[in-house]
């Protein structure tokens, strides 16, 4: 299917003073990432790592946040795209059909985990005619609480504040004032210049010293060598490739951990308080990552991620909900003095979900190993012992109330999702262990598996509403039940699931085939929006029901709601089906793209044979 989205009119690209979330590209280098707007503004970047404080954060405070801008003085249309099979981003400003200014942005990638380049390299060129441009750089240190000094030499400018520095090296002439460096510059036809933004340095060197031409060649080779390993060639190749490149970039190379998104506090509801820091690794996502990578031939990456997660959990001594990119399970949460995207406050740093009991995390680990083994991965006795340890804990806690997949900050309950994922853990461990010939307390595991199943059927299904409900005793459905047939707990054609699906569709689905997670009060003041992963689970359910044509139509509809670069956020406005919401780009959504694409391709192939 076609992926070209055409030109953008910058006059329509904003919400108030904020560039729409969807109107951003993303550059990344396995250490950190930056968002680059279609207007040529870098409005989010953390250096040197994903979880560092941002130096550019105007996406969270348009008046006081930091930024790096390059754009023509006159209004233009714009086109933004990636170099083929890379995370190198190109932004073109177009007048009367001609590219008058082109920006090429990248974060340098190293082949070695011990070498890092906390830099943004921007290549600026005027390929058609003379053009007047504005270049403007204003960093932010410590969320606006630190005042920066500006030091100038003949190669550029250095901003310093307490223990933080940020430099700009360029041959373009700039001036300083009001905490920024800037200028309006005339670039001649065919003129080009590099600008390099550098973090953590003490002095500015000549821009040539930073080897931008070599760095971009090395970065280009890195991404293309990696994508050559992808073995998917199906109907949705462009979307799968972009999702894979996005996910690869979100891994933190030194530890192998993967952030859920490179941003914090992009709101799930405009003007609301559902603003969370996603620059962490969620154990729940492990199974999705393992399976999605394996499905497209990236077994080495799947293996490394699984073993890195196992090492982190064992080092910590118990399973935590989330971990920092350094493997730390002790994560606090605080608010900072930024106004928030479109005044959506608070802006949070850290995530209090790390303190919650979320029992489904344990089942997710076992599910990850099962998916890994199914894909041909080697489950060693070392890994099997780890599974036994996980189930030794799970057999004691599966009966407890918890906060479950949606991380409710209200009173813990007996959420159905955590129960059937616990069943999945024992069911799959038995199947896997016996296939491998490993010893384990199978009789006990069978007993617990049957006990969980019986309890779910007795307490989780409400005959009055003809549905599996959100928690025991509830009369409300929760869209997480869409995953139930995908675990093998119940057949998609079972009358109890069919009636559940009908109620989920009636209560939680909009005409765009997107789903709310639930309707009940979750203790937060504002309403939720459509959570995109649920649409991909729904597509898989449709495939299991034999409704392949409907699955295809739904999948392609959801793909059309990606942005111009085939990137997804976590959520989309439920009522308008247009506004991207939540942190961006969102790993779990891109994992859903890959898995649903593979499942749908297989179903279409089977149907046509």
- In sequence order, the β-bridge partners of residue 105 are 89, 122
Task: Please say if the pLDDT value at position 1 is more than 80.
Answer: no
Q: What confidence score (pLDDT) does residue 2 get? A: 43
Q: What confidence score (pLDDT) does residue 163 get? A: 86
What percent of the chain clears pLDDT 70, i.e. is strictly above it?
A: 99
- Between CA 56 and CA 485 the distance in angstroms is 43
Please tell me which of 326-330, 553-557, 604-608 the model is most confident about, judged by mean pLDDT. 553-557
Task: Write the pLDDT tens digit of every residue in 19-59.
Answer: 999 999 999 999 999 999 999 999 999 999 999 999 999 99
Task: Write the pLDDT tens digit of every residue in 127-181.
Answer: 999 999 999 999 999 898 778 999 999 999 999 998 899 999 999 999 999 999 9
Average pLDDT on 261-286 reads: 96
Q: What is the largest CA-CA distance in the chain?
A: 78
Q: What is the dotted CATH code of the domain comprising 229-608?
A: 1.50.10.10
Geometric angle at alpha carbon 22, from 19 and 28, rounded to 5°: 95
The closest alpha carbon to 414, from 357, 486, 491, belongs to: 357
Average pLDDT, the chain: 95
Q: What confidence score (pLDDT) does residue 6 get? A: 61
SS3 content of the chain, % helix, strand, coil (to 5): 35, 25, 40
Task: Write the pLDDT tens digit of every residue in 484-493.
Answer: 999 999 999 9
The dihedral through the CA atoms of 526, 527, 531, 537 has a sign that is positive
Kind plus residue range of the DSSP H or E element containing 499: helix 495-508
- Between CA 556 and CA 543 the distance in angstroms is 14
Q: What confidence score (pLDDT) does residue 113 get? A: 66
Geometric angle at alpha carbon 361, from 356 and 367, rounded to 5°: 175
Backbone phi, psi, residue 440, to 5°: -170, 165
Task: Write the pLDDT tens digit of every residue in 423-437.
Answer: 999 999 999 999 999
Residue 510 near residue 574 (C-beta atoms within 8 A) = yes
The closest alpha carbon to 37, from 25, 29, 45, belongs to: 25
Q: Is the peptide bond between 334 and the residue preceding it cis, with omega within 30 degrees of 0?
A: no
- Between CA 263 and CA 261 the distance in angstroms is 6
Average pLDDT on 503-523 reads: 96
Domain extent listing, the chain: 8-224, 229-608
- Between CA 293 and CA 303 the distance in angstroms is 9
DSSP character at residue 202: S
Architecture of domain 8-224: Distorted Sandwich (2.70)
Question: b vs e for 493-529, b when ≥16 Cβ sit within 10 Å of the residue's Cβ?
Answer: eeebbebbbebbeebbbbebbbbbbbeeeeeeeeebb
Task: Write the pLDDT tens digit of every residue in 364-391.
Answer: 999 999 999 998 999 999 999 999 999 9
- Between CA 159 and CA 202 the distance in angstroms is 10
- Between CA 365 and CA 317 the distance in angstroms is 15
Task: Write the pLDDT tens digit of every residue in 347-368.
Answer: 999 998 888 999 999 999 999 9
Task: Please say if the pLDDT value at position 594 is more than 80.
Answer: yes
Neighbours of 240 (CB within 10 A): 26
- Between CA 182 and CA 26 the distance in angstroms is 24
The half-sphere exposure of 477 on its side-chain side, counting CA atoms within 13 A, is: 26
Task: Please say if the pLDDT value at position 4 is more than 70.
Answer: no
């Amino acid at each position: 299917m076609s992926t070209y989205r055409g030109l953008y009119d910058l006059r329509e690209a904003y919400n108030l003073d904020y560039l729409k979330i969807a109107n951003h590209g993303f550059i990344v280098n396995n250490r950190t990432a930056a968002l680059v707007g279609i207007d040529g503004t870098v409005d989010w970047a953390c250096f040197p790592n994903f979880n560092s404080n941002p130096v550019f954060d105007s996406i969270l405070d348009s008046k006081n946040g930091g930024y790096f801008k390059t754009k023509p003085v006159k209004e233009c249309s714009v086109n933004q795209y990636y170099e083929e099979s890379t995370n190198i981003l190109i932004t073109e400003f177009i007048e009367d059909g001609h590219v008058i200014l082109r920006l090429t942005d990248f974060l340098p990638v190293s082949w070695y985990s011990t070498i890092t380049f906390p830099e943004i390299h921007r290549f600026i060129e005027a390929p058609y005619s003379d053009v007047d441009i504005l270049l403007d750089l204003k960093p932010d240190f410590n969320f606006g609480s630190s005042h920066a000094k500006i030091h100038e030499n003949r190669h550029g400018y250095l901003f310093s504040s307490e223990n933080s520095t940020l430099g700009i090296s360029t041959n373009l002439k700039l001036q300083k004032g009001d905490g920024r460096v800037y200028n309006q510059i005339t670039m001649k036809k065919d003129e080009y210049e590099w600008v390099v933004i550098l973090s953590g340095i003490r002095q500015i060197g000549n821009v040539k010293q930073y080897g931008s031409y070599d760095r971009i060649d090395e970065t280009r080779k890195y991404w293309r060598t990696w994508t050559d390993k992808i073995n998917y060639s199906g109907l949705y190749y462009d979307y799968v490739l972009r999702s894979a490149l996005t996910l690869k970039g979100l891994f933190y190379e030194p530890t192998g951990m993967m952030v859920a998104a490179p941003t914090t506090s992009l709101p799930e509801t405009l003007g609301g308080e559902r603003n969370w820091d996603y620059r962490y690794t969620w154990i729940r996502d492990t199974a999705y990552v393992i399976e999605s990578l394996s499905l497209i031939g990236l077994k080495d990456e799947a293996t490394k991620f699984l073993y890195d997660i196992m090492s982190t959990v064992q080092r910590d001594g118990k399973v935590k909900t989330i971990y920092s990119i350094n493997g730390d399970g002790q994560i606090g949460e605080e608010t900072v003095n930024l106004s928030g995207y479109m005044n959506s406050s608070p802006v949070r740093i850290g995530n209090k979900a790390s303190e919650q009991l979320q029992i489904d995390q344990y089942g997710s680990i076992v599910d990850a190993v099962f998916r890994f083994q199914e894909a041909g991965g080697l489950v060693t006795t070392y890994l099997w012992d780890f599974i036994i340890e996980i189930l030794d804990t799970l057999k004691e806690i599966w009966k407890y109330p918890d906060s479950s997949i949606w991380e409710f900050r209200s009173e813990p309950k007996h959420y159905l999702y955590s129960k059937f994922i616990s069943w999945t853990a024992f069911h799959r461990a038995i199947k896997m262990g016996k296939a491998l010939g490993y010893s384990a307390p199978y009789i006990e595991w069978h007993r617990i598996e049957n006990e969980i199943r019986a309890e779910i059927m007795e307490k989780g299904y409400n005959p009055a509403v003809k549905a599996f409900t959100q928690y025991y005793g509830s009369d409300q459905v929760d869209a997480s039940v869409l995953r139930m047939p995908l675990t093998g707990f119940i057949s998609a054609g079972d009358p109890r699931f069919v009636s559940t699906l009908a109620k989920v569709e009636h209560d939680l689905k909009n005409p765009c085939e997107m789903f709310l997670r639930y309707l009940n009060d979750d203790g937060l003041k504002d309403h939720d929006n459509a959570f995109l992963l649920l649409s991909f689970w729904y597509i898989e359910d449709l495939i299991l029901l034999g409704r392949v044509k409907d699955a295809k139509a739904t999948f392609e509809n959801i793909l059309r709601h990606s942005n111009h670069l085939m990137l997804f956020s976590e959520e989309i406005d439920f009522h308008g089906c247009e506004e991207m919401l939540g942190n961006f780009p969102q790993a779990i959504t891109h994992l859903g793209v890959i898995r649903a694409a593979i499942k749908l391709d297989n179903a279409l192939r089977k149907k046509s044979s």
